[in-house]
Amino acid sequence: SRAGPFAGARLMFSSHVFGYWGDYVFWWVLLLSLFVHTWCFFKFFPWKKRRKTGLVAGNTLILFCLLGIAAMVGETYLRFVYVGTDVFGASLPARRWFALHTKLNSFGCRDVEWIPHKPENVRRIAFVGDSFAYGWGIERVENRFTEQIAARFDRRSPGSVEVMNVTKPGWGTAAQLTPVKDLVDRFQVDEVVLCYVLNDIEPLLPVSEDFNPLQPPDPVILDPDRSCLFDYLYRTFWIPRVPAVRGYRDWLVAGFANEEIWLHHQRQLGEIVQYCRSRGVVFRVALLPFLHLTGGEFPARELHAQVREFFDRIGVDTLDLLPTVAGRAAGELIVNRRDPHPNELAHQLFAQAIWDRFYAEPTD
């Protein structure tokens, strides 16, 4: 997306989300130096003696000048204008997006501030999850499925239900247990909806120094923070070809197929379920799908069925959202081609399906 020229300029010096001015000036100096050398070449080259060599060298210098101009246009746009997320959220435009469009409460979540004491006659529902429910790439929080569900409750009975979005990017199942306990004990929530994504199992999967799909290698030629254009090209064209990143699907599938890992993961999930039940809290699950991995060789249906069967076995009301997006192209549902998180349309579909399954009444 775009936020206008010099987007977020007020953040320039405080957060360094644009990179450093010195780097930008350096690239301009380099380009101007190329212009000067090109001018000197055409001015002082002995054309009468070496005309053929001069034409080749001169045309090459002109080509470099044109490429340099194009590169600086791209560098300027990406450094000062473009605002947008990517899958890892590490690029300068992505870091600028988070600085501009996210505001966290004291709990560290992208939601309004929560009051520990629950008002009388108010039902609290907490949606717990990771970046999918967080609204990664969604600029306006009211477009998230949690806020859309809250709006439906308000239309039905204003002020009777409080919906809490308790999500953080990168949260796996193990990291969610303590927040769930806090929600139950400190905030007296009446219901927890676990927004489960298949990558919640990731912290249990084996990684090594040479193979870590979650942390692709940094380039050794140039620090990406030095050039937004280099950073963009590196993350767009090189990282998807890194073996560890390309092997993500097989790595994830192997984790679910590993009996020891899957049993450990079931124990983690069961601990959350048991804690809620021991406190009289309703516990439900919404299985959010990978929108860019629903076809091809990735066994999304089989993995969703594996997770769903576990929750069914222990009596948890579970909604699988994979059929909700079936038949739609991934491009319709993801933030952008570099960011496969669910976009506004996907959140709208999720909200409708969750509402119809868990909260709809005949009078709605």
Q: For residue 206, what is the domain's CATH number? A: 3.40.50.1110
Question: Which residues are within 8 A (CB) of 304 and not within 5 positions of it... i.e. 6 or more apart?
Answer: 198, 287, 289, 320, 322
One pLDDT digit (tens) per residue for the chain, 364 residues: 544 444 444 444 434 444 567 788 889 999 999 999 999 999 998 987 888 998 999 999 999 999 999 999 999 999 888 999 999 998 888 988 999 999 999 999 999 999 999 999 999 999 999 999 999 999 999 999 999 999 999 999 999 999 999 999 999 999 999 999 999 999 999 999 999 999 999 999 999 988 999 888 877 777 777 888 998 999 888 888 888 888 999 999 999 999 999 999 999 999 999 999 999 999 999 999 999 875 457 899 999 999 999 999 999 999 999 999 998 999 999 999 999 999 999 999 999 999 999 998 876 6
* Structure confidence at residue 17 (pLDDT): 46
Query: Are 44 and 170 part of one and the same domain?
Result: no
Contact of 180 with 275, CB cutoff 8 Å: yes
| 216, part of any domain | yes
Does residue 89 fall inside a structural domain? no
Domain that holds residue 279: 103-223+241-359
Judge if 185 and 135 occupy the same domain.
yes
In a domain, 53, yes or no: yes
| Dist CA 116 CA 326 (whole Å) | 40
pLDDT at 316: 98
The answer on 251 and 112 residing in a single domain is yes
229 found inside a domain:
no
The answer to whether residues 56 and 138 belong to one domain is no
Are 59 and 175 part of one and the same domain?
A: no
- Co-location of 347 and 269 in the same domain: yes
Number of domains in the chain: 2
Whether residues 47 and 132 fall in one domain: no
Statement to judge: residues 61 and 146 lie in one domain:
no
In a domain, 352, yes or no: yes
Pair (72, 215) in one structural domain: no
Together in a domain, 299 and 343 = yes
Same structural domain, 77 and 108: no
Q: Is residue 329 part of a domain?
A: yes
List strands edge to edge, sheet with 161-167.
Answer: 161-167, 123-129, 191-197, 282-288, 317-320
Cα(302)–Cα(295) distance, integer angstroms: 12
Whether 52 is covered by a domain: the verdict is: yes
- Cα distances (angstroms) measured from residue 297 to each of 6, 213, 234, 250, 334: 43, 18, 26, 9, 19
Q: Is residue 231 part of a domain?
A: no
